[in-house]
Chains A and B, each alone.
Chain A
Amino acid sequence: GAGVSQSPSNKVTEKGKDVELRCDPISGHTALYWYRQSLGQGLEFLIYFQGNSAPDKSGLPSDRFSAERTGGSVSTLTIQRTQQEDSAVYLCASSAGSWAGELFFGEGSRLTVL
């Protein structure tokens, strides 16, 4: 597609349920990032994929969070046993690979945990 696509755009779930958030990056982009943006806060780094290298998971807040990237393209962020503090907008971004390059962001997935 022309840009980074994320789904769902909005997700409301009950505490304790698992959720999956999907990111479809720009075709050909080797780098993919997940960030979390809580209300009134900046962007919190979660995880970074670069080509076939092992992902940088240093930002994942707990073992309830995991992410995978299949075939070097689509990525899924999974949150198990959701908690209310997981409520946030989850942003995905991709880039052509250079660490100095521009990140292209999706519109985000807003997660609300009741």
Chain B
Amino acid sequence: AQTVTQSQPEMSVQEAETVTLSCTYDTSESNYYLFWYKQPPSRQMILVIRQEAYKQQNATENRFSVNFQKAAKSFSLKISDSQLGDTAMYFCAFSGTASKLTFGTGTRLQVTL
């Protein structure tokens, strides 16, 4: 079974600064996808970024980018130029051939002035 580990329960960053959220996973599959989801206080989860395991190039979406280290099974999220609206829970997730998303326990990010 796949496991996803987020070792940082809470993090804080000042507005305009850069922060990196960590995620590691364990799987025996070679073909899979990794995701970062954001859950603002309103509760609705939204997709931030997605990475295909077979792609070496790290995914980027505007201020959000990932550092995907396949051999190390590491998938960190970097948020540049942090904004107050980035305050949320961030969940790392794995999807393999079993089709169901497996989530980590989340990192609560607080962006401060």
Number of interface residues of B (CB under 8 A): 23
Instruction: Say how far B18's CB is from chain A's closest CB, in angstroms.
Output: 25
Say if the beta carbon of A65 comes within 8 Å of chain B.
no
Which of A19-27, A66-74, A80-88, A101-109 makes up part of the contact surface?
A101-109
CB-based contact A100/B45 at 8 Å: no
Known: A43-B91, A99-B95, A100-B52. Is A91-B45 also a contact (CB below 8 A)? yes
Q: List A residues 18-37 near B (Cβ within 8 Å).
A: 31, 33, 35
Say if the beta carbon of A79 comes within 8 Å of chain B.
no
Say if the beta carbon of A94 comes within 8 Å of chain B.
no
Instruction: From A41, A45, A59, A103, give the contact of B105 (CB < 8 A).
Output: A41
Interface membership of chain B positions 91-102, coded 1 if the CB is closer than 8 angstroms to chain A and 0 otherwise: 100010101111
State the CA gap A91–B106 with chains docked (Å): 15
CB-based contact B100/A106 at 8 Å: no
Number of interface residues of A (CB under 8 A): 23
Instruction: From A40, A42, A45, A89, give the contact of B104 (CB < 8 A).
Output: A42
Say if the beta carbon of B44 comes within 8 Å of chain A.
yes
B-side contacts of A75, CB under 8 Å: none
B-side contacts of A14, CB under 8 Å: none
CB-based contact B91/A99 at 8 Å: no
State the CA gap A48–B37 with chains docked (Å): 19
Known: A33-B100, A45-B101. Is A103-B44 also a contact (CB below 8 A)? no
A residues sitting closer than 8 Å to B (CB atoms) are 31, 33, 35, 40-43, 45, 48, 50, 56, 59, 89, 91, 93, 99-100, 102-103, 105-108
